[in-house]
Structure 1
């Protein structure tokens, strides 16, 4: 295992410093200001090139099982209800088992993808779309329907606990620009334009070994300045095994600075609370951390996000 000393904790951002960073990143990613946001980097040529990542044909899920039990990080668990019971005697004839689901898409337990309409900041959505486009009936613009044809490209997993020689990052810890660059070097790869970037902090392993906790208030994630790395590489989407944002927040008066920067300023679809504990060992064994990735949100035309089960194909 490659080890990397934990960097000194980055300083908190004042509201003014965050404003400067926001404007800087928005300017640098002006190419992604349209309704598809950074998905415009996923050109047909890049999708085709990503298929060359497939060498063994092995498929691995990047999602966690949907949680139906209440817990400290899941006060509104998904509801799974059997909506139709088979008749007592099923020995002959045709019968159906039926069920229904309900879910808080943006909770702190289930794997999901955020649409570009998810973040409202200073009265607008991404690209300056007025916030009034999100109504009581749903989002009329920038909904998850933007990704209805799927998000397919080269996936890249950067494993920060592996880099630091620890099983996971503790809640409140930050992934920095230096971490991302060092992980890239340690894993012998380079994040490129149009990549789907996944950053492991070990949230799921910690949860599995120590039990769930109140992740809404304590979790590891990216420091806002880490978004400079993503702007440099012009990535198409960002996913994490936590919320992507650190808690407590590093930024004065902004509870979710990475969400604001990634979704609102840069046009990045975010994937939260994924599961990398299946994928990371496969990447380690095969000695490569890139793969074809297929992300297929549900067709929810007016929704601000969707449950999701991304698939890595190696």
Structure 2
């Protein structure tokens, strides 16, 4: 495949330009302004149609293993402790091995899903809900409990490094709307209303081959203007193998513009730091980039997100 160099570097956005983009996407996503946000696109009919994506019955995880050792991008890793040491006194009778976990859900290493209460922008949450609904004891609105019945639909993986003929996008590089459209063409797939869109930038492959780095300061992601593509197609969910946002930010005065636009303006649940290194080769071998996808967050009624293990079923 000939390398695809992509469009010219997209421009940085001023605060005013970002404000215009925000208001435009907010208006276009008015259909997703309720408590469930864009999940309202996952109608029973669309979920039933997504099951027709299953042909071989093969299942593939989209999550990375939970890490318990600190690193440059994971200074507060998950803590795993065994409750007791059952192996030492298990000579006879019945015994149970038990665990305890603690996790910083919104870190830069572990796969997780962001609830609609995760982003506070200009004093409100998605849909104009007051920021005061998020307290020291948890959130009282738009929590991850909204997705308690699971998120099930047609998943589509757009592989941008494949499009460009490179193993990964370098930190600071941007995925544009043109990239997304070109990837559709190259992969013979089209993103449609209600789809769960996954965008590969190669973050996990780079991390695996070169080692972890301080991803909070430098990572590939979507350019804010690429959210116009998502609005056009009315997708239900956005997931990436990085943070979805580029670092450094492309927007003056806003560090996470994609999070603001996707969650706050468009009502999209975001999945950050997934991994597609298991899925992409399967899609390549089967010659198809769509699949049934099941996303099950933990039932944490007051939480702004959850660890997650999405499953693609082909």
Instruction: Assess same fold via TM > 0.5.
Output: yes
Measure, in 1, the Cα distance between the counterparts of 2:256 and 2:222.
Answer: 10
1:102-251 → structure 2 map (5 Å cutoff): 102-251=102-251
Residues 103-127 of structure 1 deviation map (CA, whole Å, 9 limit, x = unaligned)? 0000000000000000000000000
Question: 1:141-192 CA deviation, whole Å, 9 max, x = no partner?
Answer: 0000000000000000000000000000000000000000000010001100
Aligned twin of 1:65: 65
- Runs of 4+ aligned residues of structure 1 deviating over 3 Å after TM superposition are none
Aligned residue in 2 for 1:273? 273
Q: Equivalent residue for 1:295?
A: 295
User: What TM-score, normalized to structure 1?
Assistant: 0.99
1:197 aligns to what SS in structure 2? strand
Match of 2:22, SS?
helix
1:88 is displaced (CA, Å) by: 2.6
Q: Report if the CA contact (8 A) 1:2-1:162 is conserved.
A: no
Task: Tell me how far apart the structure 2 counterparts of residues 2 and 206 of structure 1 sit (CA, whole Å).
Answer: 21
Q: 1:87 offset after TM fit, Å?
A: 5.7
| Correspondence for 1:47 | 47
Aligned equivalents of 2:46, 2:84: Cα separation in 1: 45
In structure 2, distance between residues paired with 1:2 and 1:95: 59
State the 1:63 CA deviation: 0.1
More divergent stretch after superposition (78-87 vs 7-16): 78-87
Partners of 2:28 and 2:89 in 1: how far apart? 65
Residues 2/186 of structure 1: CA separation in 2 closer, same or farther (3 Å cut): farther
1:285 aligns to 2:285 (yes or no): yes
Could you list the runs of 5+ residues in structure 2 that have no partner in the other structure?
none
Contact 1:152 1:294 in 2 (8 A): yes
Query: What is the aligned partner in structure 1 of residue 94 from structure 2?
Result: 94
- How many residues align? The count is 314
Q: Does the 8 A contact of 1:197 with 1:239 survive in 2?
A: yes
Using the size of structure 2 for normalisation, the TM-score is 0.99
Please give the alpha-carbon distance, in whole angstroms, between the structure 1 residues aligned to 2:84 and 2:197: 41
